[in-house]
Structure formats: structure tokens, C-alpha cells
Amino acid sequence: MVRSVWSLRALLVLCLGWSAGCAAQRMAVPQDVGKTSDEIVISDRSAMSGALVDESFTMGPYRVTDVSRKWDSTSSSSVAGVSSTDAKGGFTFGVKAPQGELKGTCASHQAGKSVGFLGGSLGSQSYDVVCACGGATQATFTISADTTAHYKGTVTAGSTSYAIAGVYTDEKGSSSGKPIGYEVRGTDPVGAVEVSGKGRVWLSKSLDPGARADVACLFAGLLLYKEPSSDIAK
């Protein structure tokens, strides 16, 4: 009996060690994404967030660093066209890439829809998310929910625009009420990110190194994103 109790406690510790729990859904990778992309391994990623937590992690050749959740309405700047006075739950981070260091900023802003953002809401309000990230060439995305609570938007990298949309199906063929991950597409697949659990990333083999770094940086923003209601107070 004592052994069973301690085994249960150990299991709970292991589960709580990752916020998504022991049963985190794994995203069903779109077949064409899997065939044309490199999977980027994520390691050293903490389930915790906040001012006292080091949220740095490694994403293949990229190192996500200097995560700060202090970018808010008191900041005198904007991200992807959203001013800091309209933003909620903003944060900044850096990405060390082989091509150099990139800076990222992400935030939520209030949407005029009744559905929640990324499966959640803050009271009766709902939120879209915007991110800007990059070095010499700035890459941005804006994601919002349609009336059926499906999340989609636009990624702009340099002079090129892509579509980004939520992925709701897991590896077992079950559907989720909120995105398990996101895929980015132009004429061909650009990449995908799984935001459930520890997370996974895929980047198209055809992307040049600079574009890969920009897309990886935007995906890092999605991996770091927390709903405004769950963000650590500023």
C-alpha cells in the first residue's frame, strides 16, 4: 500500500513537471509537411513561466533566450500594427540562430468576437494574437478566430505572404476543440508547429537559411504564448 501511494505521488510529480500533463495530444502532421520538411527537435523547455523562471530552450540549431513577460500597455511601442496600449499578455524573447540573433515580440489584443482565443477567453472578452520577429527582414503573423472558433491568419516574411491555420486533429484521428498546433502554407508547405505538450517544429527543406530562422522565430513565439488570463501579472 505504501509503495502504491509513493508510486502515485511519483507519477503526479512527473505529470506536473509538464503543464500539458501526461496525456498531451500529439498533432497529426499534415502528410505533405512531413514529406517536405525537417523536424526540428525541441529540448530543455520548461513547463513554467514568469519573471522568476528561465524560459529559454533549444530548438535544433536555434536557442530561444531572454524571455520577458513585461511588454505591456506601459510600453511605448507596437507589434505587428498593434499598439502597446491595446495589447494584453505581451512578451519579448530572443533567438540565437546560425545567421545571427533575432528579436521577437508577441501580444494578444481584444477581438470583436464572442469565441475564446486558442481555446480560452478572459471573461466575456476574446483575443487574437500577433507576433513580430526577425533580424534584417522582419517577419510577422496575425491569428484570429472565425465564427466557428477555427484559428487562422497571415504570415508575412519580407515581401512574401503565407497562410497560417490551426491543426485540430491528433495522431489518433481525434479532433480537438482548440488547436494542437499550426501549419504555414504558401504555394507549398512552409512548416508547422505543435504547441501541445513539449512541442515540435517542422521547417520546409526549401526555405533559405534566413527564412527558416524567421519562421522558427515566429514558431518560438507560439510555443511561448500564454493566454492573457494565464499570464504572470506584470
The amino acid that residue 139 corresponds to is: A
pTM of the predicted model, to two decimals?
A: 0.79
Burial of 115 (0-12, 13-18, 19+ CB in 10 A): middle
Helices (H), the chain: 2-16, 31-36, 209-224
The SS3 call for residue 200 is strand
pLDDT for res 107: 83
pLDDT for res 177: 84
As a whole number of Å, the end-to-end CA separation of the chain is 45
pLDDT for res 182: 96
pLDDT average per 10 residues of sequence, the chain (234 residues): 35 40 78 95 80 85 92 55 63 92 85 46 61 80 79 87 94 89 94 93 94 94 80 38
